[in-house]
Amino acid sequence: MAAYVLRRLALAVSVVLAMTLITFILGQVLPGDPARSAAGLNALPEQIEAARVRLGLDQPLFVQYLRYLSRLAQGDLGTSIFTHRPIVADLADNLPASLELVLVAMAMNVTVAIPLGIIAAVRGGAVDRVVRVAVLVGGGIPVFWLAIVSQLVFSVALGWFPLVGRLGDDVDPGTKVTGMLLVDTALHGRWDAWTSAVSHLILPASTLAFLFIAVGTRVTRASMRQVLREEYLTFARSKGVPERRVILRHAFRNALMPIVTIVGLQFGWMLSSTILVETVFGRPGIGSYAVTAVLQKDIFAVTAVVLVIATAFVVVNLLVDLAYLGLNPKIRLGSGTSG
């Protein structure tokens, strides 16, 4: 088991390192000149050259990359050419907002997709058909359209939820601890702010989760159906185990591996998909920050964002790999292949 964990950690670290190299190269390939962006629209040639030197862009690529790595090691992601602030500060403002959105959307995803998939697999017949059609339709709806329509229906027409933002205008968010409003307001016992934050999260999170629920349901259903055919379930029933335990304890538990894998991958995909939802719902986040960085040829910010999302992806999948240890005894006991 130790070997498995170490191998996984080593893989994770090398993936992140490879990402730094890839994003650095991508940054060089992006069209546009960052020195010119930094110097401003009306800049004279000497101002642009001065900016180039100041940003270290006149050095050979190899040197620039090494400097970049050494700063990374000290936790310095560089200074944004566009906002003139340390990128770590920019991310501290933007990343928690996206994380919060994704975590709530993921919670919605899991609480809807898994039961729905189980029901479809277990019940079969008409219920199964209805769920499959619903999933097909749901998976095909564009996020952007869904976002605007849900604003129209639930916010404007029905008035149930606020339209944009993370918090009501007259609500004070209080001191920032993690940057995630749900956590910070709860930590300080500010329940009025907490409810305001939750109500602002419902529409964006459910819009974001919609597409992923479709996929999650399908995977759960497929995995459950496969397991439901296994003979050990027949054996459990013949022993007199209640049906509920058969489904949840025996079948579902063994169907979990593909589901956990997909959910792990979905976390990364969700994080990258936040841009459309954030744009429509006027929320800050890593998505809009990334788009601005690309359009402004802010290579330091682009590289930092790609690196952060890639790292999040790697970390979540590392956790999934470690979860396999709990789910599959064969891996825990060291027999079998890498799992």
Please give the residues from 177 up to 196 whose contact with other proteins meets the rule CB under 8 A. 192, 195-196
160 binds other proteins (CB under 8 A): yes
Instruction: Report the residue from 65, 72, 134, 155 that binds other proteins according to the rule CB under 8 A.
Output: 155
Instruction: Report the residue from 41, 73, 75, 335 that binds other proteins according to the rule CB under 8 A.
Output: 41
Site string for other proteins, 244-283 (x = CB under 8 A): x-xxx------------------------------xxxxx
**Interface with other proteins by CB under 8 A: which range of 10-18, 63-71, 198-206, 325-333?**
198-206
31 binds other proteins (CB under 8 A): yes
56 binds other proteins (CB under 8 A): no
89 binds other proteins (CB under 8 A): yes
Site string for other proteins, 299-338 (x = CB under 8 A): ----------------------------------------
- Name the minimum Å distance from CB 45 to other proteins: 5
- Name the minimum Å distance from CB 69 to other proteins: 22
103 binds other proteins (CB under 8 A): no
239 binds other proteins (CB under 8 A): no
Q: Mapped to the 3 state alphabet, what secondary structure does the chain carry? A: CHHHHHHHHHHHHHHHHHHHHHHHHHHHHCCCCHHHHHHCCCCCHHHHHHHHHHCCCCCCHHHHHHHHHHHHHCCCCCECCCCCCEHHHHHHHHHHHHHHHHHHHHHHHHHHHHHHHHHHHHHCHHHHHHHHHHHHHHHHCCHHHHHHHHHHHHHHHCCCCCCCCCCCCCCCCCCCCCCCHHHHHHHCCCHHHHHHHHHHHHHHHHHHHHHHHHHHHHHHHHHHHHHHCCHHHHHHHHHCCCHHHHHHHHHHHHHHHHHHHHHHHHHHHHHHHHHHHHHHCCCCCHHHHHHHHHHCCCHHHHHHHHHHHHHHHHHHHHHHHHHHHHHCHHHHCCCCCCC
What number of chain residues touch other proteins (CB under 8 A)? 81
**Interface with other proteins by CB under 8 A: which range of 8-16, 41-49, 307-315, 317-325?**
41-49
